[in-house]
Amino acid sequence: MNYDEALDFIHSVSWKGSKPGLERTAELLGKINNPQNKLKFIHVAGTNGKGSFCSMLESILRSAGYRVGLYTSPFVERFNERMKVNGADIDDETLASITGYVKPFAESMRDSPTEFELITAIALEYFKRENCDYVVFECGMGGRLDSTNVIETPVLSVITGISLDHTAYLGDTVGKIAAEKAGIIKKGIPCLWCGNDSEAYRVISKRASELGSELYTVVRDKLTVKKEALDGTCFDYGRYKDLKIPLLGTYQVTNALNVISAVEILRGRGLEISDFALYGGLSEAKWKARFEIICRDPIVIFDGGHNPEGVDSAVESVRKYFGGDKLNVVTGVLADKDYGYIAKKISEIAERVYCLTPGNPRALSATDYAAVFNGLGVSAQGYDGIGAAVYAAMSDAAERKKNVICIGSLYIYADVKKAAKMYADAECRKKN
Q: What is the mean pLDDT of the chain?
A: 93
Structural domains of the chain sorted by starting position, each given as residue range(s) with its CATH number in brackets: 3-284 (3.40.1190.10), 292-431 (3.90.190.20)
Strand partners, 224: 236
Question: Residues 170-191: what's their mean pLDDT?
Answer: 87
Residues with Cβ < 8 Å from 176, sequence gap 6 or more?
170
Question: Residues 166-187: what's their mean pLDDT?
Answer: 77
Q: How confident is the model at residue 169 (pLDDT cuts 50, 70, 90)?
A: very low
- At residue 80, what are phi and psi to the nearest 5 degrees? -60, -20
Contact of 44 with 158, CB cutoff 8 Å? yes
Nearest to 74 by CA among 407, 384, 389, 360: 360
pLDDT over 50 at 210, yes or no: yes
Nearest to 348 by CA among 384, 371, 314: 314
Q: How confident is the model at residue 269 (pLDDT cuts 50, 70, 90)?
A: very high
Q: How confident is the model at residue 49 (pLDDT cuts 50, 70, 90)?
A: confident
Contact of 148 with 137, CB cutoff 8 Å? yes
Pairing relation of β-strands 299-303 and 232-237? unpaired
Burial class for 312, CB neighbours closer than 10 Å (0-12, 13-18, 19+): middle
Question: Residues 88-109: what's their mean pLDDT?
Answer: 97
Note the pLDDT tens digit of each residue in 32-41.
999 999 999 9
Burial class for 46, CB neighbours closer than 10 Å (0-12, 13-18, 19+): buried
For the whole model, what pTM was predicted? Answer: 0.91
Question: Residues 308-330: what's their mean pLDDT?
Answer: 93
Note the pLDDT tens digit of each residue in 330-345.
999 999 889 999 999 9
Question: Residues 13-29: what's their mean pLDDT?
Answer: 76
Q: Which of 82-96, 257-271, 355-369 has the lowest mean pLDDT?
A: 355-369
Model pLDDT, residue 161: 84
Q: How confident is the model at residue 167 (pLDDT cuts 50, 70, 90)?
A: very low
Alpha-carbon torsion angle 239, 86, 291, 51, nearest 10: -80
pLDDT over 60 at 375, yes or no: yes
Note the pLDDT tens digit of each residue in 415-432.
999 999 999 998 888 877
Question: Residues 364-374: what's their mean pLDDT?
Answer: 96
Model pLDDT, residue 170: 52
CA–CA gap between residue 70 and residue 49 (Å, rounded) = 15
pLDDT over 90 at 252, yes or no: yes
Question: Residues 231-250: what's their mean pLDDT?
Answer: 96
Question: Residues 290-313: what's their mean pLDDT?
Answer: 91
